Structure 1
């Protein structure tokens, strides 16, 4: 019997430990070590690269020709793969991103559809006539001796089998010949595309994901060869590029890298103007004017020119080509080094682009370099064309344009400035701090959107930033949880992609900087992360660990709540108890009680009795009155004073001072309604009109994640307590942030007030009969 009982007790004890473990794992302050990869020689526990960190290198020599007649490109590339890993490789994987447009692609086959009541003609035509010519036509894959190499195409991925093992430290070169048509932005969208201008019969080509590119092979994933479904962007290796691009002779090309043969493709005037632009740090210099670009729109040259670009230590290569391009440039001083900021745009982009694009590039380089590292490349370029916003090393594609009359709304103006800042900013994340976009969109989009917010706020006071401010994420955080995933979700499985990958992480970092860590600690740690992983491949844990390592702030609770969870912030004041110190001096305390009694509102019955009862019985029969009818407990007696004197004689001077002080003691009960633990920011609004803010770290919740009580001692009485008075924590319910309660607009009303609506084009409205050049003069027309 004893043995049976002992076994039962052991079983109960085991269950208890398991249960406690479950509770402990649900604790908001439980450390995240078991979720993060174990530190090793490649990535250490501080979040820095380990002493044996390695990454591959891939070099490209590419020759490509643009056919302006049928909108296609034909190319050949020689790829040299340097195996810096400790592993012997038997094959390599390449990305064939253009194959996403094929009708048998996973992106097409897995696309779901909603209601069809309002389907457009174009959408229906696309579904019926989905025989796309787009996608790579791989002509050959050969080694340097011309021998064919076996290859297998699996939708957007191609495996090339090596003739023998590629051992650690060795290199292998092979060539790929291909052809593909360029997608039309109006029909297929895309990150790289062409745009046709019917008015003059010309095209703008923005070429991205235009050549077969090597996948990343690293210590975390092996080959990152996840199929391209459209959302998860690109994981790529660094390398050196030499790219020769043949286009019609009247085209202008801007591209990743440095132009190697300017004398063969540019006029002397253009070369001189580019040299002049290097020292023009306040105003862009026009290299190709609007008049010159307009004149070329009619030429349609049959001759061709080959532009040669060299890009070193870059992870990708993109370019844009058109005879429509206006071109301007200016030099930007980045810590003593001149970087050329340049823009290329058609006349349809003016006067907006001429005024703002290159200046926005310069601003981005200055601000981002201050928060991370000095921009290392010689150029940063913004191009206006069919792509609304997309980034590549040294070059980005951006969409906003003014109306045909040259006017534009405030939305269009700030839309252009913001998208240029964002896309140029991507040079830092992920073009240099080279995270895995196919897996973790937030590591480039979120970090970049955060820095975009900081840059926007330095552009002008009260800049209308869409993302970054905590109040702007409230509507998303309070939405249906079935439509929300943790930030730490794969790029392809996110429903509200903009909020999840851009808005929420940017807001989280802003809160981390302003409310949790403080600017000094945050800025140092963030810069440390950027410097540690410059030109390397970081993973999420490397960021999380570095932020903690460089600041001495335990942030596991923050990562758990903001990045691994979907709970919103909703902290409430449930109750306030107010205590005053009893001085025990009867002349003080009884006088205060009498005053309180006199000021207390009478009940309804008391009020009506006083009006209706003409005479009480004891007044009609005085003999009914005795001692108690005349006794008032609030009258001070000699016995009261003697008792107080006796107590006072036994107190020290310090104790007497405390006893006679007017200190107020408030015991406040807080409740974590939303589930996401955060610091408690409490404003005390005093009766004399002054106020005080107390900031309590999130660790106040460490032993009870749901309810805590905190005592506050003040010298002045508090009129009202307010939680999160500056709306800095993204608290989704302000109604429970006040004590005493205060009426606030409902969450639905707040959303309606905050929701951005399309602004009218006030420039167009106000200008009346004035010309666009009067309202917005163009340098090109001077």
Structure 2
């Protein structure tokens, strides 16, 4: 599942709009709280290897897992939006235990109004909260077929689970039985962003998942895994073969996990010919185009058709159906000369070269890359479905937002198909360990994106910027079940932080060769099996040849922070030709390697990397650097690969000062800035102002609209293509402040209202000259991006501190750091303003880079209108 289109993006937008203060309030002291004994505590692993799971991280000689094979018949009723089903599950008990009872998953029951998932959803809603309710599963009958006898089952339904109590225990080590269940359910319009239905102009799109009773996993770790389905936690499933039949109206196209078995019965000769062409084409071939969709004679079949699919050695199957589908496909080239089929189905509203017309290219590209890099794709078909679901994965088929375009479509497609490795091939327990699928997948997504189409959509992650949010005061350990992680942190704990850790492990601790060997070993060992976190840890240590317990402890089990610093530089015998003694400090609890860029006064540069073990003796380390001249600067982590919460102390420079000229005051600098913009008269003459900007966050382009009208009217609206409504809508009219978050009205404290009212001012700099604003000019100028700047600190009447950096040459504002007192202490946000251009005689910055919630947000102004005649109707 992807959170980029929902929770991560959503909370990012909230932070930008001022709903939440960035969760980055850090204690920036120089006193070290580091303790090497905590990091390198020798006790980490809680159990030794056994006959089921080896201490090397491999399955043991007596490893076992149970198996579930399914034969399913289902009928889609498009009038009532219901599915009627009949499933026969052949369950094989390979465990050493006789089983007196069995557990199954009934996930459709989460959509009941009285479900546990609904009871634990916040009243404000959210991605996993139901927007409407169904009756869940209607269980018509449950039968057990065992030892040649068929009998009614003794069963109990509890929320999203069913227990079957057997009259005769299922024998150990190979005993099997069949479970026959007849059922029905209504397809919810919005199914916790995992399934549902979307109405397009040419008909409904049905995305169907969790559509049959599924076996819970019985394993050697916990026995039965019966955590209820509450929404955020995903799935843990047994492997088996699937033979399933979907009956639907004849004018619909049906796609599903696995391979279609009866194309001649459900497809026209034209469709079959086009499909055969696609199987041999590296270019996308259209099978069902926009004219075919609206042509009733293209598919002349009447009544219902039954589509027959088979899927082998999979943990689940899903499908989609619609008469609105366009359909295209292409060949996937796999290692060893094998092939599969990439295909996409989408409505005409989603077509376009910058949208879903590239979907099959994306499917083919990511699967070929993953297959080459990690493990060959194992399914015959890979299908991308455009619909109401923003992003969800199933074996061989994924559901992505019909609104996705460009980078966003690549991102969600690449992410969801990456899940075919984690957890479809490597079958980890998503209910307990979301990072073992989402985090691993996010990691390989980045590797893929860097390569796909020469990095067309690649953007390097700035770990230093992300640290402020990732390691903020509300941080939670990665090793937390998803239903416990706070919604606004799930994207970090399950996705980005595990991925960042793997990148650091690969690049700086093991190195690419040892890491890749270990990671491939882990995938190969646990393909179609059920690994635990300890199996992964053991494998990476054994295959990589490194004790990594210190790293796994701090990264996965704690919320420790990283703060590396350059303490100082001395020269051996005070002689620069004898080399330098560089002292480093580790001020927080986390230990990682240290990477430094060192520049000498002659302009030459060098990179030095020290291992994490330098911190085994304590929080301070001095090393000799061979040089024959003075060091001009040292920068820790020049590529921003490490999540250092206090980057200010990462830089050491040979002292160079430039005092402010005598007689220059803070007021002089502010007045010079006003004059540089165009002068106070021109600024005061602006009656209304509208600014439209676009920022890219992850895979999504986000649009910001800001409108101002004198005396105190302000509107801010934030929209994204994948969101069905504005993420943020703020209106300030004098003393009235109204804020909507995803359509929900928000209550605001008086302090928060004041912040929004201050945003209603078009040119805040005009207020800085007032007497109730305290202004201080730093006695020394600073050097910022090759420019000398004046540093002016402004204290506003409501307690904010604004530190502005003004160019000594142009007078323009280049950087601003705003510090606000919040419930967690002081919180700082940074803004860089460049590319000033004139509009109606006033200079405006057209490129603004802000840091919020640990993310660098680059906003590009697209349009500015001055005195365009905005009315009250523009502020609703």
Which of the residues 146, 151, 165 maps onto 1:147? 151
- Pick closer, same or farther for the CA change 1:297–1:488 going to 2, 3 Å: farther
- Per-residue CA distance 1:620-661 (angstroms, 9 max, x = gap): xxxxxxxxxxxxxxxxxxxxxxxxxxxxxxxxxxxxxxxxxx
1:620 alignment partner in structure 2? none
Q: Does 1:727 align with 2:640?
A: yes
- Pick closer, same or farther for the CA change 1:357–1:445 going to 2, 3 Å: same
- Per-residue CA distance 1:280-312 (angstroms, 9 max, x = gap): 01x111111111013359999860000111111
- Per-residue CA distance 1:232-252 (angstroms, 9 max, x = gap): 100000001110110001111
Which of the residues 555, 569, 576 maps onto 2:562? 569
Q: Which runs of 5+ in 2 are unaligned?
A: 1-33, 656-781, 785-814, 818-827, 832-848, 864-876
Which of the residues 383, 388, 392 maps onto 1:386? 388
| Kept after mapping to 2: 8 A contact 1:515/1:728 | no
| Kept after mapping to 1: 8 A contact 2:128/2:193 | no
Q: Provide the rounded CA distance (Å) in 2 between the counterparts of 1:761 and 1:140.
A: 61
- Pick closer, same or farther for the CA change 1:731–1:227 going to 2, 3 Å: same
- Per-residue CA distance 1:696-746 (angstroms, 9 max, x = gap): 000111121x22222323233211122111212122222101123787776
- Pick closer, same or farther for the CA change 1:464–1:123 going to 2, 3 Å: closer
1:670 counterpart SS class: strand
| Kept after mapping to 1: 8 A contact 2:193/2:391 | no
Greater helix content: 1
- Pick closer, same or farther for the CA change 1:243–1:738 going to 2, 3 Å: same
- Per-residue CA distance 1:556-577 (angstroms, 9 max, x = gap): 1211121111122210112222
1:112 counterpart SS class: coil
2:415 alignment partner in structure 1? 422
Q: Provide the rounded CA distance (Å) in 2 between the counterparts of 1:752 and 1:64.
A: 51
- Per-residue CA distance 1:392-450 (angstroms, 9 max, x = gap): 01000000427xxxxxxxxx310101100111111111011000000000000000011
1:331 alignment partner in structure 2? 331
Give the structure with higher Rg (CA): 1
2:557 counterpart SS class: coil
Deviation at 1:364?
Answer: 1.1
1:377 counterpart SS class: coil
Q: Provide the rounded CA distance (Å) in 1 between the counterparts of 2:240 and 2:606.
A: 56
1:572 counterpart SS class: strand
CA RMSD of aligned residues (A): 2.7
| Kept after mapping to 2: 8 A contact 1:450/1:468 | no
Which of the residues 101, 105, 113 maps onto 1:95? 105
- Pick closer, same or farther for the CA change 1:68–1:302 going to 2, 3 Å: farther
Which of the residues 481, 490, 500 maps onto 1:490? 481
1:176 alignment partner in structure 2? 181
- Pick closer, same or farther for the CA change 1:61–1:761 going to 2, 3 Å: farther
Q: Provide the rounded CA distance (Å) in 1 between the counterparts of 2:543 and 2:309.
A: 39
Greater strand content: 2
Q: Provide the rounded CA distance (Å) in 1 between the counterparts of 2:396 and 2:326.
A: 18
- Pick closer, same or farther for the CA change 1:466–1:318 going to 2, 3 Å: farther
- Pick closer, same or farther for the CA change 1:691–1:29 going to 2, 3 Å: same
Which of the residues 509, 519, 535 maps onto 1:516? 509
1:287 alignment partner in structure 2? 287
- Pick closer, same or farther for the CA change 1:241–1:468 going to 2, 3 Å: farther
- Pick closer, same or farther for the CA change 1:175–1:422 going to 2, 3 Å: same
1:370 alignment partner in structure 2? 372
1:123-272 correspondence to structure 2 within 5 Å? 132-144=133-145, 145-168=149-172, 169-185=174-190, 189-197=192-200, 199-200=201-202, 202-272=203-273
Q: Provide the rounded CA distance (Å) in 2 between the counterparts of 1:508 and 1:24.
A: 21
1:563 counterpart SS class: helix
Deviation at 1:761?
Answer: 9.3
Deviation at 1:214?
Answer: 0.4
2:581 alignment partner in structure 1? 667
Deviation at 1:32?
Answer: 4.8
Which of the residues 83, 107, 127 maps onto 1:73? 83
Runs of 4+ in 1 over 6 A off after TM superposition: 297-302, 741-745, 757-762
1:358 alignment partner in structure 2? 360
Q: Provide the rounded CA distance (Å) in 1 between the counterparts of 2:447 and 2:139.
A: 44
1:556 alignment partner in structure 2? 549
Q: Provide the rounded CA distance (Å) in 2 between the counterparts of 1:340 and 1:298.
A: 23
| Kept after mapping to 1: 8 A contact 2:193/2:392 | no
Q: Provide the rounded CA distance (Å) in 2 between the counterparts of 1:418 and 1:522.
A: 24
2:444 alignment partner in structure 1? 451
**Which is further off, 467-476 or 512-521?**
467-476
Deviation at 1:759?
Answer: 7.5
Q: Provide the rounded CA distance (Å) in 2 between the counterparts of 1:252 and 1:387.
A: 18
Q: Provide the rounded CA distance (Å) in 2 between the counterparts of 1:732 and 1:535.
A: 39
2:50 alignment partner in structure 1? 40
| Kept after mapping to 2: 8 A contact 1:183/1:189 | no
Q: Which runs of 5+ in 1 are unaligned?
A: 1-22, 403-411, 583-661, 763-782
Q: Provide the rounded CA distance (Å) in 1 between the counterparts of 2:64 and 2:461.
A: 34
Q: Does 1:543 align with 2:536?
A: yes
1:308-327 correspondence to structure 2 within 5 Å? 308-327=308-327
Deviation at 1:670?
Answer: 1.8
1:370 counterpart SS class: helix
- Per-residue CA distance 1:127-167 (angstroms, 9 max, x = gap): 9xx7x333111111012354210100110110011221111
Deviation at 1:510?
Answer: 1.1
Q: Provide the rounded CA distance (Å) in 2 between the counterparts of 1:469 and 1:312.
A: 41
| Kept after mapping to 1: 8 A contact 2:565/2:649 | yes
Q: Provide the rounded CA distance (Å) in 2 between the counterparts of 1:759 and 1:721.
A: 32
- Pick closer, same or farther for the CA change 1:285–1:508 going to 2, 3 Å: same
2:193 counterpart SS class: coil
| Kept after mapping to 2: 8 A contact 1:666/1:711 | yes
User: Number of paired residues?
Assistant: 634
| Kept after mapping to 2: 8 A contact 1:469/1:510 | no
Deviation at 1:664?
Answer: 3.1
TM-score (norm 2): 0.69
1:33 counterpart SS class: coil
